[in-house]
Amino acid sequence: MGGQAVFSGEHEQLRKAVRAFVEKEVTPCVAAWETAGRIPRTFWRRLGELGLLGLDFPVAYGGSGGDFLSSVVLGEEMARCRSGGVAFSVLVHTDMSSPWLVRYGTEAQKRRYLPRVLSGETVCALAITEPGAGSDMAALATRAERRGDHYVLTGRKIFITNGVHGDLYFVAARTGPATAERRHDGLSMFLVERGLPGFEVSRTLDKMGMRASDTAELAFDGYAVPAESLLGVEGRGFQQLAAGLQRERTMVAVLALSGAAQALEDTIAYLRERQAFGEPLAARQVLRHRVAELATDLEAARQLVYHAARLHAAGEECVREVSMAKLLATEVANRVAYHAVQLHGGYGYMREFPVEGFFRDVRLWTIASGTSEIMREIIAKRLPL
Ligand SMILES: Cc1cc2nc3c(=O)[nH]c(=O)nc-3n(C[C@H](O)[C@H](O)[C@H](O)COP(=O)(O)OP(=O)(O)OC[C@H]3O[C@@H](n4cnc5c(N)ncnc54)[C@H](O)[C@@H]3O)c2cc1C
């Protein structure tokens, strides 16, 4: 990807290092991990060793002290590994769960968890969605009732990435009632460790794509969470989550776009090589124009994503821009996937060609982390409609 004006020399150095690591140590393994339905523990520890699990975490806790754009670089380069599931798993850990610990954790919580989160010994998952509540977060029904020095957690979570093999779960639960005017009140966040009675992975979910990332249904049945595992302020869970969602959605846009850019590169290579009617397909004007159109869509979406990422990195208000970036990037990436398969002909439908996997993986992005419909809703609310 381009974008010299967005990234500093240091970012570009990081990009070079991550790209070399991905080419040498990730891409050759993704087929095996896709089949296994998970990424191995040794890989998490390798990421930790390389310092890639805490790029913008404070140095005091073992992070690299970089900025959010370093994480964007990580997302872009991981997404080039040709397995959406690997990139998704890693970024759920680095960008969609553990940052909440830095932002809302107490000193004791940070000291307890961050070293292992950054070394890759502890894998993180974010557990918000429930069988009866996805887009409508206020409808969450998992309850956390205070009893003395702990809370008792009861309920179910679904579609939880890293949920099957994770260690530390950032769980949203209801600690108090919602009111008719303030439906989002009464939610809280908890740090939940696996391995104690009352908490089980009730199902490993089988899915269309993202196969290297494990996805769980979780059941809490009277699970006792110590009161000191409350993350942030009781009853303010929704507000805390809403603040972090801009980072998560920007990252989803980054992953979708970078994967699409890779798929387009693969397609161009294929068109140059594949002969039909006595010449390479790349010589056909109708196909060249299709590729030109997709490259233009990608570039437009990329500029919007970088704009949103810069606003977020600067701590500015960016809900509108992030929602637009997530909407456009994920829709464009799906369009690229459709045409990448089409331009490969029958080979595009075969498992041995990476565009086949991308086509399945990319379908998630207009759904997860807020659907396209919800993005349009958020944007519409910020227009003078
Ligand atoms: C592979 C995978 C991984 C995931 N990982 C995680 C994870 O790690 N942690 C986690 O907490 N969640 C995770 N999710 C959940 C994901 O974020 C939700 O699936 C998503 O938010 C949509 O919620 P839902 O599935 O309940 O759909 P619903 O909310 O039931 O929506 C169904 C359809 O109705 C539309 N819709 C809903 N409300 C409106 C409205 N007001 N106006 C217009 N249209 C509307 C939606 O856009 C959608 O098209 C994951 C999902 C998948 C598939």
Active-site residue flag, 248: yes
pTM summary value: 0.97
Instruction: Tell whether 184 and 266 lie within a shared domain.
Output: no
275-313: b (≥16 Cβ within 10 Å) or e: eeeeeebbeeeebeebbeebeebbbebbebbbbbbbbbb
Picking from 69, 94, 84, 92, the residue whose alpha carbon sits closest to that of residue 11 is 69
* Tens-place pLDDT, residues 313-372: 999 999 999 999 999 999 999 999 999 999 999 999 999 999 999 999 999 999 999 999
3 found inside a domain:
no
98 and 49 within one domain: yes
In a domain, 372, yes or no: yes
d(CA 379, CA 385): 10
Residues 377, 248 within the same domain:
yes
d(Cα 369, Cα 252) in Å, to the nearest integer? 8
Ligand 1 pocket member 63 (CB < 6 A): no
Q: Is the CB of 368 under 6 A from ligand 1?
A: yes
From 130, 248, 321, 356, active-site residue = 248
Range of the structural domain that residue 312 is part of? 239-381
Q: Per-residue confidence at 70, pLDDT binned at 50, 70, 90?
A: very high
Q: How confident is the model over 251-305, as pLDDT tens digits?
A: 999 999 999 999 999 999 999 999 999 999 999 999 999 999 999 999 999 999 9
Q: Angle 338-320-251 (CA atoms, 0-180°, nearest 5)?
A: 55
Pocket residue to mutate for ligand 1, from 83, 135, 326, most atoms within 8 A of Cβ: 135
- Do 136 and 109 lie in one domain? The reply is no
Q: Is residue 4 part of a domain?
A: no
Q: What is the DSSP string of 60-109?
A: GGT-----HHHHHHHHHHHGGGS-HHHHHHHHHHHHTTTHHHHHH--HHH
Q: Each residue of 200-248: pLDDT tens digit?
A: 999 999 999 999 999 999 999 999 999 999 999 999 999 999 888 999 9
Q: Which of 235, 253, 278 is the last residue of a domain?
A: 235
Residue 19 maps to a domain: yes
Q: What is the CATH number of the domain that holds 57?
A: 1.10.540.10
**Whether residue 377 sits in one domain with residue 243:** yes
One domain for residues 185 and 117? no
CA distance 11 to 29: 26
Q: Which of 122, 149, 174 is the last residue of a domain?
A: 122
SS3 label, residue 322 = helix
> How many structural domains does the chain have?
3
Answer yes or no: are the C-beta atoms of 325 and 250 closer than 8 Å: yes
Q: Tell me, yes or no, whether 94 and 209 share the same domain.
A: no
Judgement on whether residues 87 and 111 belong to the same structural domain of the protein: yes
Domain-located, residue 2: no
> Looking at residue 143, which CATH number applies to its domain?
2.40.110.10
134 & 108 share domain = no
Same domain, 267 and 375: yes
Boundary residue ending a domain (69, 101, 122): 122
Residue 46 and residue 172 in contact, taking contact as beta carbons nearer than 8 Å: no
